[in-house]
């Protein structure tokens, strides 16, 4: 079993998202997606973990885990239930939640867009209508002006590549569109919006003299794509370009790469993030396939690797490879904004955490500036298309009683967070 020791400046944390844990909101796109029968186990985000009513209980869990930082998302549909109409009650709820984190010496990292949107936004055309984008910017401005005294650090978009691919290419996420042309347009709109928000958040916090160093980034889902054959390697490069590079380059530098459509508001090339946020879970072996419906590629499981409950390869070395790749390219601090495993019986999660952190420690020793690690997730939650069936939690959540029960991995992670180290001795 590997041993590691991380420096005192390194921050350990956990990550959650609003729709996946809060429950009780019918005004968002994912509630409608559940109601129209798209969830594997027929569960609904309407219940989730009832976190909206259990913030104090769940904050105590975070304190018991000894985390120094916690990543949450805000539910746009709660804050702006109808166009231009903002809910002071919902905003105050989030203020209270964030203040509770601060009172327990837990630094908040706040995400503005984590897949879900108000129903009215989709009814107006969503990201396919440039004028609709102004609504998201207006929402973000309201949030930062009213929470920016408590929050220094922001994630604009969570996994914009997953959101776009599943929502506009294969249609398995809302809004359920299947169109490459639409997906490319949405990608450009999101990149443009991120750049606007980056500048806006910095400006608002400076103008209002909010305390603390402002940091803005995104959280991009990154997988390692490896090819074994010549055709597989070329195919893996193409998949990597479409799924990773278009987004990472656009969000980080403002570059609109081929084949993305140029926007009527071209971006000045520069730097639009203060950290590189990476969600890392797995690696895929890629092979060419004469199948246009699957975009001429297929994923092949590695028979030599253990799997998660979802069948994902467990490949800890990948976290080192991607940190090295993006640090050498951008020379910006790296936050692992998500890393975790679906493991109902908790017999792989302890090693999963330890092995990934060991590779992060090695990366830091080799001069790669990895500054944070956010484990996904605190407790079992509503896991998108898998619903309640995928178990990513350090704590088990009994969805019928809402009882939270720590798994063995929670104890291990709490010790790691406390000591910033792991040793079997």
pLDDT at 129 (0 to 100): 92
pLDDT at 30 (0 to 100): 98
What is the mean pLDDT of the segment spanning 334-346?
98
On whether residue 423 sits in a domain, the answer given is no
On whether residue 425 sits in a domain, the answer given is no
Query: What DSSP string describes 68-92?
Result: SEEEEE--HHHH-SBTTB--HHHHH
Q: What would the pLDDT profile of 342-359 be if each residue is shown by its tens digit?
A: 999 999 999 999 999 999
What is the mean pLDDT of the segment spanning 378-406?
98
The mean pLDDT value of the chain amounts to 96
Residue 266: which pLDDT band, with cuts at 50, 70 and 90? low
Q: Tokens 């102004």 correspond to what residue?
A: 134
Q: Is the pLDDT of residue 269 over 90?
A: no
Overall domain count for the chain: 1
Q: Tokens 């926007």 correspond to what residue?
A: 263
**Residue 75 annotated in active site:** no
On whether residue 424 sits in a domain, the answer given is no
Q: What would the pLDDT profile of 85-103 be if each residue is shown by its tens digit?
A: 999 999 999 999 999 999 9
pLDDT at 292 (0 to 100): 86
On whether residue 199 sits in a domain, the answer given is yes
Query: What are the CA-CA distances from residue 70 to residues 108, 213, 222, 293, 311 (Å)?
Result: 5, 17, 20, 39, 28
Query: What DSSP string describes 181-207?
Result: HHHHHHHHHHHHHHHHHHHHHHHHHHH
Which one of 22, 97, 117, 159 is the catalytic residue?
A: 159
- In angstroms, the CA 175 to CA 36 distance is 12
Q: Is the pLDDT of residue 277 over 80?
A: yes
Three-class SS of residue 282? strand
pLDDT at 1 (0 to 100): 65
What is the mean pLDDT of the segment spanning 142-161?
98
Q: Is the pLDDT of residue 170 over 60?
A: yes
What is the mean pLDDT of the segment spanning 232-249?
97
Structural domain including 126 reads 4-417
pLDDT at 357 (0 to 100): 98
pLDDT at 293 (0 to 100): 84
pLDDT at 263 (0 to 100): 67
What is the mean pLDDT of the segment spanning 179-183?
97
Q: What would the pLDDT profile of 205-225 be if each residue is shown by its tens digit?
A: 999 999 999 999 999 999 999
What is the mean pLDDT of the segment spanning 27-36?
98
CATH of the domain at 165: 3.20.20.80
Q: Tokens 């984190």 correspond to what residue?
A: 101
pLDDT at 340 (0 to 100): 98
Q: Is the pLDDT of residue 265 over 80?
A: no
């Amino acid at each position: 079993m590997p041993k590691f020791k991380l420096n005192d400046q390194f921050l350990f944390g956990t990550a959650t998202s609003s729709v996946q844990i809060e429950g009780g909101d019918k005004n968002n796109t994912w509630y409608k997606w559940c109601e129209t029968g798209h969830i594997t186990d027929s569960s609904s985000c309407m219940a989730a973990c009832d976190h909206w009513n259990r913030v104090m209980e769940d904050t105590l869990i975070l304190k018991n885990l000894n985390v120094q930082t916690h990543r949450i998302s805000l539910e746009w549909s709660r804050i702006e239930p109808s166009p231009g109409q903002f809910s002071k009650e919902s905003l105050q709820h989030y203020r209270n939640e964030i203040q509770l984190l601060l009172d327990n010496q837990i630094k908040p990292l706040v995400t503005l867009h984590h897949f879900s949107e108000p129903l009215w936004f989709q009814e107006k055309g969503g990201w396919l209508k440039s004028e609709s984008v102004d609504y998201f910017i207006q929402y973000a401005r309201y949030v930062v002006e009213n929470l920016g005294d408590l929050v220094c650090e922001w994630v604009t978009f969570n996994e914009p590549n997953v959101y776009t691919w599943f929502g506009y290419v294969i249609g398995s996420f809302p809004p359920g569109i299947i169109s490459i042309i639409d997906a490319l347009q949405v990608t450009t709109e999101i990149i443009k919006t991120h750049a606007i928000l980056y500048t806006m958040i910095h400006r608002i916090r400076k103008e209002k003299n909010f305390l603390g160093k402002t940091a803005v980034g995104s959280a991009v889902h990154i997988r390692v794509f490896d090819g074994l054959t010549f055709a597989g390697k070329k195919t893996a490069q193409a998949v990597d370009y479409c799924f990773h590079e278009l987004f990472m380059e656009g969000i980080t530098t403002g570059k609109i790469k081929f084949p993305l459509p140029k926007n009527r508001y071209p971006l000045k090339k520069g730097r639009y993030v203060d950290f590189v946020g990476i969600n890392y879970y797995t690696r895929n072996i890629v092979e060419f396939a004469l199948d246009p419906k699957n975009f001429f590629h297929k994923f092949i499981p590695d028979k030599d690797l253990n799997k998660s409950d979802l069948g994902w390869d467990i490949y800890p070395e990948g976290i080192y490879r991607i940190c090295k790749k993006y640090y050498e390219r951008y020379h910006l601090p790296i936050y692992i904004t998500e890393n975790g495993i679906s493991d109902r019986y908790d017999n792989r999660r302890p090693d999963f955490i330890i092995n990934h952190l060991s590779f992060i420690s090695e990366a830091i020793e080799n001069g790669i500036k990895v500054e944070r690690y956010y484990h996904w997730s605190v407790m079992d939650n509503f896991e998108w298309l898998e619903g309640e069936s995928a178990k990513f939690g350090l704590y088990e959540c009994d969805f019928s009683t809402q009882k939270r029960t720590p798994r063995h991995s929670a104890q291990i992670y709490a010790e790691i967070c406390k000591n910033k180290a792991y040793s079997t001795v």
